[in-house]
Structure 1
Amino acid sequence: MENLAKDSASPAQDLPSTMRMRPASQLARGLSVAEVLELSSLAGTQVLAGRSGLDRVVQRLNVMEVPDILPWVKPHELLLTTGYPLRDTPEQLARLVRDLAQRELAAVAIKVGRYVETLPPELLRAADEVGLPLLHLADDVAFDDILNQVLTDILNRQAATLARSEEVHRVLVNVILAGGGLAAITNELPALLDGGVMVTTPDGRVLARSGLSSPTLRDTTYFTEAGDRFRVERFKHGVRALDDEGAQVAQVPILAGNLDHGRVVLITDGRAIDDSDVRVLERVAATAALVITRDLAVSAVESKYQGDFLRELLTGRAGETQDTVRHCANLGWDIDRPVVVLVAELDAAAPEQVPAAGELRPAHERFASAWSMVVRERDPQAAIAGYSQEVVVVMGADCAEPRRRGAPASAARADAATATETAATVQSEDVDRLVRTMVSQVAGDGGGGRRTFATGVSRVVHGPAGIPAAYAQAQQAARVGRQVHGTGAVANFDSLGIHRLLSLVPDGAELRGFVQETLGPLAEEDGAATDLRTTLEVLLDNNLNVAETARLLHFHYNTLRYRIGKLERMLGPFTRDAHLRLNLMVALRVVRMRGVVG
């Protein structure tokens, strides 16, 4: 027996530090077996088998007094025994160990040599296989000392967890009573949670954060490459985060009724998330839900008022110009400057994306909120409002010129004539570049089930009088852009070209007749016609450059020459007739824009 103990076990003091340290995820649930072995009442205890299970949690203790102990054991128990109930049936010990492991017992501590002289090798093998620690207690160890010390330690840790939770509760209540928002909540938490905390939207947009280091913010494990979204889809919710050993990220949903308002996220730096962290996050999520619900109630009233007035402005019914400018200034908007109007329209949702009743409005609110966040970063004085299917933004055109925004003070003191000339020469490509940047930020990488949307941008207008016309331009650009480029299109009114004229033709039959008359056999929907239409379109787009067209279509030069001859026999001598080429190009644009074929 003594040889077996020496060969198969080692004192608890000699355990590696990684074994002696209990995983942090078990803080509020009890002690690990490795930690129990470090207590003074278990001095001299040896691990005979099942060392892989030293991280099992001990929440309670039990003493084995009868052979049929299975009905009485509970999960996470440390079972103490002198071996007396097992003295007559040592051959059943291996089976008993497997049954105890199935019941999630923490460990078995036995006094070997008193009633059970030796432990069979098959018992030790079974314990190693199932990872159930078998502990050899010293002869002079008293059970009551073990019971008292282990239970006291567990209760002390649970009391510390409750005290921590109470402190967090007090802090959060003070924030609420002081009228603080999400930023106030996150500012208080890093010291209490020993990590960085943030509140995000359901799809990961950061609404408030505190305590996150620069390397963490740049880590693509946590954030998208653009840095505009936390990857909520990569991490588990609530206590499920504790399933991953050494997890350093936990998130809890912010729920109010049946509405999902976002996530509270904790990212630790070098330590594992524990159970008490998750409990604190749950309290934080409840508080954040109160704050968000309160802010939404206030914002709903303000947004309705602002949205109604912006609608009046967009339709030209806001009143006299001076009164309109003054009223917009009271709302924090500056419209007495060169501005552009931007319209973002949600694309139709796929059938599997259609939300349940009662969830449609929050989705649109989040869409408008995302645009508001992105626009306010560039132009705090922009007017923005969300409606049923669209978000409308009236923002300064000079926001598209980084050189003007970063110009020295001397440039700001330039004479009025120079300033007017500069404003008048704002390049549409600068505006288009800015809008595309904002669209990419709102769209993100598609995380969180975001819906696609089409975006239209107006020309630059100088003053409130031109805003209604600019709004109509932006709407038309969004509509035509979707027709030409499909879902998620971004279009500038100045770039619509002939598509703008085609969009004004309401009669689909007239367009269909024009296409059929001009394209003839190519107006059919069969594969051969579609293939030849593609060849014709690429050829015309490249100004009849045969070599370049052959390269783009991956055709041999002679093959393309043959196709051109075939097209001319079908459509006429378009390579020599400029008017015919124009008609063909317009017809092809109609097909691309309206899908008018067949």
Structure 2
Amino acid sequence: MASGLLLSPEAVAGDVEAARDVSSVGVMAVPDIAPWLRAGQLLVTSTSVLSRLVEPIEVFLSRLDLRSVAGLAVRLDDAVAPLPDGMIEAAADLGFPVVVVDDLFPAGHALSGGLAEMWDLQVDAMFTADRLRKVLVDLVMAGGGHDELASWMAREMSGAVLITTPDGRQLSRAGDESELRRLAASPALDSTGRLRTDSIDGGLGLRSRGDEFVVVSTISANGIDHGRLVLYSTERTLSSEDLYIVEQAATVCALVVARELVVSSVEEKHQANFVRDLLRGRGGEHEHVVAHARTFGWDLDRPLVVLVIEPDPVVEEASPMPARMPLVERQARAFAGAVAERDPGAAVTALATETVILMGDGADTMNVVREIVDYVRGDGGGRCSFGVGVSRATTTVDGIPAMYSQARTALKVGRQLSGVRAVTHFDDLGVCRLLSLVEDERELESFAQETLRELTEDTAEARDMRRTLEVLLATNINIAETARQLHFHYNTLRYRVTKLEKMLGSFTENPGLRLDLSLALKIMAMRGINS
């Protein structure tokens, strides 16, 4: 206030003396002010602008407070209704400073010219965004999709444009090829071409690095996060006005998403019902199934393997972002994009709790599976983890139910043995395949405890001795090799063998006992007992 910028200021809410330090001054000429907000900012506006807010005034003030805005200065444009109803009470509850002033840009003040220019830029951005939005809506109404929207935006905004999924996989791209190549090499994208949505370079908003500028906005439909709209440029400096325009354009991209969801929902339901019938052995004759699958673009007339993908049991953290579609659906869409490049005839379907893939078998099937998994997981963190089970191959659709059971077993046991993010082939389970068939899990645990005795205890010593026993059995009681692998002196290991035999019996001379001990150790690993 001492600067003279605020004419006749009157504090109406909040503690001005205890307010955040003011590091900058900004104006609010349009209701959607988010692109221009800065921490420590004194925001200057009028009651005419506030009256056009779509969100409740208490939500608006909370948003300013969360963004660490220092305070709000409001010019009264209407003496009858000077401030929106409930504004003073909401600001007081937040302790957010609100002052009333006589003028926004007092004549002769050093900052007035710059603030008036900012006001004009925001208004100009609003009209530009409105014109762009109308053109884009016309494109959508004429049947255009993301490719047409991206191409038009790239021309209009003189930059490279990407439209991606929520996890950053590219759906459409447009713009000058040289600019697209610079974008591909920038920190905004990972090595697979995926937008880094889980890092600051791919986060929402306006980012800059040297002569590179990138703007990222959420594509949200029906309150659900469906993707990102990206504008990138090295030819010109992108600003908060560009961010505002891109955010408005993203609302039109959401129309395409909504239209595609309506069209695809019926087909996806039909596909899911068809796959469920296949997994239950109720698909019908081989020829009928193959012909029906072709209507979906699937090739089931070949050797097939079944993949089951299930989200790992990790609670998703709360996020201020729009709500996202169910996790299984998101993962199914991610896998559909990754699989399509490697096996266009594969079937990818989201069921209630898992994604099921029927894909062609080949000499390097597991390498292909791992490539697909690596692509979906991406370079960065932040993606929801999942486990994968892979079956053997079948040459007829009649074998699909058994292969599905194998993939489910591989997923379950692989997760028990290796933890989250496991990718497991059924043939890699060994004897654990048989153990997984025992329905009474209490019987398995009882067998392990009776066989291993005090080695099942949850102590450092028990874990250490179990590890010694495991390596001894793996080397067929080769004392020298076991000592080498465990980095023990030979005599130390001999002492440990004696101690183990006092606990468990003479396993070095009893092959049957060694088998029991091996099975018990496998059960402990599978069941996660004191691991």
State the TM-score bracket (shorter-chain normalisation). 0.7 to 0.9
- Where does residue 581 of structure 1 map in the other structure? 514
Q: C-alpha separation between the residues in 2 aligned to 1:198 and 1:395?
A: 29
List gaps (5 residues or longer) in structure 2.
Answer: 1-27, 34-98
List gaps (5 residues or longer) in structure 1.
Answer: 1-25, 30-69, 81-99, 109-132, 134-149, 399-425
Q: C-alpha separation between the residues in 2 aligned to 1:271 and 1:444?
A: 30
Deviations 1:83-112 (A, max 9, x none): xxxxxxxxxxxxxxxxx7xxxx5279xxxx
Q: C-alpha separation between the residues in 1 aligned to 2:317 and 2:120?
A: 49
- Where does residue 248 of structure 1 map in the other structure? 213
1:533 aligns with one of 466, 471, 481: 466
Amino acid at match of 2:301: D
Are 1:488 and 2:493 matched, yes or no? Answer: no
- Where does residue 301 of structure 2 map in the other structure? 336
- Where does residue 217 of structure 1 map in the other structure? 184
What are the within-5 Å matches in structure 2 for residues 126-525 of structure 1?
Answer: 161=125, 164-211=128-175, 212-219=179-186, 221-235=187-201, 241=206, 248-350=213-315, 353=317, 361-398=325-362, 426=363, 430-445=364-379, 447-448=381-382, 450-525=383-458
Amino acid at match of 2:241: S
Distance 1:539 1:162, change over 3 A: same
Query: 1:339 Cα deviation (Å)?
Result: 1.0
Query: 1:79 Cα deviation (Å)?
Result: 4.7
Distance 1:435 1:244, change over 3 A: closer
Amino acid at match of 1:444: G
Q: C-alpha separation between the residues in 2 aligned to 1:243 and 1:362?
A: 33
TM-score by length of 2: 0.73
Amino acid at match of 2:240: D
Query: 1:167 Cα deviation (Å)?
Result: 4.7
Q: C-alpha separation between the residues in 1 aligned to 2:209 and 2:222?
A: 29
Structure ranking higher in helix proportion? 1
Deviations 1:270-311 (A, max 9, x none): 432113311221222101111111111211111001110111
Q: C-alpha separation between the residues in 2 aligned to 1:516 and 1:474?
A: 29
Query: 1:569 Cα deviation (Å)?
Result: 2.5
**Higher CA-based Rg:** 1
Query: 1:156 Cα deviation (Å)?
Result: 8.6
SS of the residue 1:271 aligns to: coil
1:592 aligns with one of 520, 525, 530: 525
SS of the residue 1:458 aligns to: strand
CA contact (8 A) 2:390 2:426 kept: yes
Amino acid at match of 1:470: M
Query: 1:201 Cα deviation (Å)?
Result: 2.3
Amino acid at match of 1:476: T
CA contact (8 A) 1:374 1:442 kept: yes
Structure 1 runs of 4+ aligned residues shifted over 6 Å read 70-73, 153-160, 242-247
Distance 1:509 1:262, change over 3 A: same
SS of the residue 1:265 aligns to: strand
SS of the residue 2:199 aligns to: helix
Query: 1:554 Cα deviation (Å)?
Result: 3.8
CA contact (8 A) 1:306 1:385 kept: yes
Deviations 1:88-147 (A, max 9, x none): xxxxxxxxxxxx7xxxx5279xxxxxxxxxxxxxxxxxxxxxxxx9xxxxxxxxxxxxxx
Amino acid at match of 2:267: E
Amino acid at match of 2:453: G
CA contact (8 A) 2:121 2:241 kept: no
Q: C-alpha separation between the residues in 1 aligned to 2:474 and 2:312?
A: 29
Distance 1:365 1:241, change over 3 A: same
Q: C-alpha separation between the residues in 2 aligned to 1:346 and 1:71?
A: 53
Q: C-alpha separation between the residues in 2 aligned to 1:157 and 1:517?
A: 78
Query: 1:200 Cα deviation (Å)?
Result: 2.0
Query: 1:163 Cα deviation (Å)?
Result: 6.2
The total of aligned residue pairs comes to 434
SS of the residue 1:230 aligns to: coil
TM-score by length of 1: 0.65
CA contact (8 A) 1:340 1:461 kept: yes
CA contact (8 A) 2:218 2:229 kept: yes
Query: 1:336 Cα deviation (Å)?
Result: 0.7
Distance 1:361 1:157, change over 3 A: closer
Q: C-alpha separation between the residues in 2 aligned to 1:71 and 1:376?
A: 59
Query: 1:586 Cα deviation (Å)?
Result: 1.1
Query: 1:573 Cα deviation (Å)?
Result: 3.0
Deviations 1:175-232 (A, max 9, x none): 202212222211222121121111222232222222352242133x112244444345
2:498 aligns with one of 551, 555, 565: 565
Q: C-alpha separation between the residues in 2 aligned to 1:492 and 1:182?
A: 38
Distance 1:206 1:548, change over 3 A: farther
Distance 1:185 1:545, change over 3 A: farther
- Where does residue 18 of structure 1 map in the other structure? none
Q: C-alpha separation between the residues in 1 aligned to 2:439 and 2:238?
A: 61
Amino acid at match of 1:472: S
- Where does residue 106 of structure 1 map in the other structure? 111
Query: 1:359 Cα deviation (Å)?
Result: 5.3
CA contact (8 A) 1:385 1:393 kept: yes
What are the within-5 Å matches in structure 2 for residues 74-113 of structure 1?
Answer: 77=105, 79-80=107-108, 106=111
Q: C-alpha separation between the residues in 2 aligned to 1:591 and 1:154?
A: 67
The alignment yields a C-alpha RMSD, in angstroms, of: 3.5
Query: 1:523 Cα deviation (Å)?
Result: 2.2
Q: C-alpha separation between the residues in 2 aligned to 1:499 and 1:360?
A: 37
Identity %: 41
